[in-house]
């Protein structure tokens, strides 16, 4: 599913109206009706059936006027509050505003601080507040009366349903422009905006519902958005189909270089997950001293002493493999740095670099110029900061751009962990993952993700798909673990335990 910027949404509107000759007022009508359906669902469980629709002066407000009309026609008690000078209302919004006046709708204008004091008192009588103040037309920091109204709405603790996007959230990046409505759910139209998906916009929006308002599918295909939401369908399309061309003897072989003294857990978690995700044959190279621990914990895998691998030549070891992953728990020794150098510059098979592999890569970033095969890196913001020289704050403030720029510059697939995990490729495509929860910020969770990517790559899944599906799978498994154990108590191993059930769920869906 494409995720749009504000201007792309406006362009889609234009195409619908100017190319397909769908009058904008039809789109507004459909938008309003789709919200009314959700209001009725929320209202069903409530004693108090009174609704307040709080509208701005633009088309978001226009949606609000449509909503009021339909609620009135259903006999639902509704009051419309309008913020600003109603003489400024124009176009489709004006048509719908005039209809409300003809219907003698109960309209209250909010223009002064006295109005706001009364508004605050009024709010207590309603069951649901509909936020139709600002949508994709938000231009600047919210101030003045608009700010006061939003603060009073939030303070009322009433259930808020946001139209298109919570007012005050920037549709292009999900940031709060001064103040924003805290909604229980948001109904957005035709396609989600970036502000609906990224934090904090996603937090302010509550549950997100994407409603079709009648824009032709062909029009959507004309919008060249490079940003996509990872959906279950994408995961199912990869997990259910047979992987790759299983040429003789090499089907599903994975090689993981991981672990260091005191860090055997990372090697075990990554290896276990790779097997859980379908790797047929797995070998894990670890320091000799860890072999007994791995052998004890990982009966299905094969362990290789790092020293033996070095003596025989890493590349010789990799000849039969489908994928090599390097980094979980490896530490930053000179020996490991040399291994990383050899793997990056000589390996001719898909490569996953994680954790300390990324920290060492940060000091040898030029090595990426010598890559001989697709490479997936899986940094958290701290590792991305070291790789780019940007501060963690800068990375998190511009997650999509930072990941996209790195992928385009170095020709790698970047999976930038965090909320939300973002996957970018060297062609500038951006995929946003919405599964997962804060309980997954636990030691070893990243090792599990690396194992997932490795497991899928070992079966011939195309690298970008492997990164996308792994991010989705990782979050889904984490969500199941959180349901069962709570976000406080879950461990990385609990995520692995959920993998089989999540894969089955996806394949059967």
Ligand X SMILES: NC(=O)C1=CN([C@@H]2O[C@H](COP(=O)(O)OP(=O)(O)OC[C@H]3O[C@@H](n4cnc5c(N)ncnc54)[C@H](OP(=O)(O)O)[C@@H]3O)[C@@H](O)[C@H]2O)[C@H](O)CC1
Per the CB < 8 A criterion, the answer to whether 79 and 108 are in contact is: yes
Q: Is 31 annotated among the ligand-binding residues?
A: no
Listed ranges 11-19, 124-132, 285-293, 406-414: which one lies at the site for K ion (CB under 5 A) = 124-132
Contact partners, residue 169, CB within 8 Å, separation at least 6: 138, 175, 176, 177, 180, 181, 195, 200, 201, 204, 205
Q: Is 380 annotated among the ligand-binding residues?
A: yes
Q: Is 141 annotated among the ligand-binding residues?
A: yes
Least separation in angstroms between CB 387 and K ion: 37
Q: What is the DSSP letter of 282?
A: E
CB closer to ligand X out of 33 and 373: 33
Q: What is the DSSP letter of 427?
A: T
CB closer to ligand X out of 52 and 390: 52
Contact partners, residue 32, CB within 8 Å, separation at least 6: 63, 64, 65, 66, 67, 69, 70, 96
CB closer to ligand X out of 216 and 313: 216
Site for K ion in 403-462 (CB under 5 A): none
**Ordered DSSP codes for 25-88:** HHHHHHHHHHHHHHHHHHHHT-S---EEEEE-SSHHHHHHHHHHHHHHHTT--EEEEEES-GGG
Q: Is 329 annotated among the ligand-binding residues?
A: yes
- Binding to K ion by residue 63, rule CB under 5 A? no
| Residue 131 interacting partner from ligand X, K ion, none (CB closer than 5 to 8 Å by kind) | K ion
Least separation in angstroms between CB 164 and K ion: 5
Which member of 12, 72, 163, 469 binds K ion (CB under 5 A)?
Answer: 163
Least separation in angstroms between CB 100 and ligand X: 15
CA distances 491 to 299, 300, 435, 474, Å, are: 21, 21, 17, 13
Q: Which residue is nearest to K ion (CB)?
A: 167
Provide the 3-class DSSP secondary structure of residue 292: helix
Q: Which of 418, 425, 509, 416 is nearest to 462 (CA)?
A: 425
CB closer to K ion out of 154 and 303: 154
Least separation in angstroms between CB 197 and ligand X: 15
> How many Å apart are CA 297 and CA 447, to the nearest integer?
15
Least separation in angstroms between CB 4 and ligand X: 9
| Residue 154 interacting partner from ligand X, K ion, none (CB closer than 5 to 8 Å by kind) | none
Listed ranges 13-21, 40-48, 154-162, 319-327: which one lies at the site for K ion (CB under 5 A) = 154-162
Kindly state the tokens that stand for 32: 């309003």
Summarize as ranges the residues that interact with ligand X (CB under 6 A): 9, 12-13, 27-28, 31, 56-63, 134-140, 142, 146, 163-164, 189-190, 213
By CB atoms closer than 10 A (0-12, 13-18, 19+), residue 93 is buried
Q: Is 173 annotated among the ligand-binding residues?
A: no
Least separation in angstroms between CB 166 and K ion: 6
> How many Å apart are CA 129 and CA 160, to the nearest integer?
5
> Is the bond preceding 118 in cis, omega lying within 30 degrees of 0?
no
Residue list for the binding site for AMP: 417-421, 446
Binding-site annotation: residue ranges for K(+): 60, 131, 167
State the residues that interact with K ion by CB under 5 A. 131, 162-163, 167
Numbered residues of the known binding site for (6S)-NADPHX:
59-63, 135-141, 164, 266, 329, 380, 447
């Amino acid at each position: 599913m494409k995720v749009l910027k504000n201007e792309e949404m406006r362009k889609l509107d234009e195409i619908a109206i100017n190319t397909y000759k769908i009058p904008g007022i039809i789109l507004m009508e459909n938008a309003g009706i789709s919200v009314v359906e959700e209001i009725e669902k929320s209202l069903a469980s409530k004693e108090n059936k009174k609704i307040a629709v709080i509208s701005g002066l633009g088309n978001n407000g226009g949606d609000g006027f449509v909503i009021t009309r339909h609620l009135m026609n259903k006999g639902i008690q509704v009051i419309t509050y309008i913020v600003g000078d109603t003489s400024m209302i124009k176009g489709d919004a004006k048509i719908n505003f005039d209809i409300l006046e003809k219907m003698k709708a109960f309209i209250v204008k909010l223009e002064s601080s006295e109005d706001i004091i009364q508004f605050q008192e009024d709010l207590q009588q309603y069951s649901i507040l509909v936020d139709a103040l600002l949508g994709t037309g938000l231009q600047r920091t919210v101030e003045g009366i608009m700010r006061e109204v939003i603060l009073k709405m939030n303070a009322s603790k009433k259930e808020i349903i946001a139209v298109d996007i919570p007012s005050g959230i920037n549709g292009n990046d999900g940031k709060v422009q001064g103040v924003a409505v805290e909604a229980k759910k948001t109904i957005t139209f035709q396609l989600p905006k970036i502000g609906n998906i990224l934090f904090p916009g996603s937090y302010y929006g509550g549950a997100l519902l994407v409603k079709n308002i009648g824009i032709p599918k062909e029009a959507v295909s004309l919008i060249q958005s490079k940003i996509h939401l990872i959906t279950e369908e994408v995961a199912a399309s990869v997990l259910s189909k047979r992987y790759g061309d299983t040429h003789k003897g090499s089907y599903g072989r994975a090689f993981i270089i991981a672990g260091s003294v005191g860090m055997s857990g990372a090697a075990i978690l990554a290896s276990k997950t790779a097997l859980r995700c379908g790797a047929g044959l797995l070998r894990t190279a670890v320091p000799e001293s860890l072999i007994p621990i791995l052998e004890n914990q990982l009966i299905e895998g094969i362990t290789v002493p790092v020293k033996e691998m070095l003596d025989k030549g890493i590349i010789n070891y990799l000849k039969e493999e489908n994928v090599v992953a390097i980094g979980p728990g490896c530490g930053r020794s000179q020996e490991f740095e040399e291994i990383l150098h050899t793997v990056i510059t000589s390996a001719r098979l898909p490569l996953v670099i994680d954790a300390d592999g990324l920290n060492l890569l940060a000091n040898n970033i030029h090595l990426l110029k010598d890559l001989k095969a697709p490479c997936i890196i899986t940094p958290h913001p701290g590792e991305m900061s070291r790789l780019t020289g940007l501060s963690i704050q800068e990375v998190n403030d511009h997650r999509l751009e930072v990941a996209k720029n790195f992928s385009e510059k170095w020709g790698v697939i970047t999976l930038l962990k965090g909320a939300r995990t973002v996957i970018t490729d060297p062609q500038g495509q951006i995929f946003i993952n919405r599964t997962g929860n804060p309980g997954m910020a636990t030691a070893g969770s990243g090792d599990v993700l690396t194992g997932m990517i490795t497991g899928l790559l070992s079966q011939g899944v195309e690298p970008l798909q492997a990164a996308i599906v792994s991010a989705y799978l990782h979050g889904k498994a984490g969500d199941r673990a959180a349901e069962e154990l709570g976000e406080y108590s879950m461990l990385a191993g609990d995520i692995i335990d959920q993998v089989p059930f999540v894969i089955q769920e996806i394949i059967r869906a």
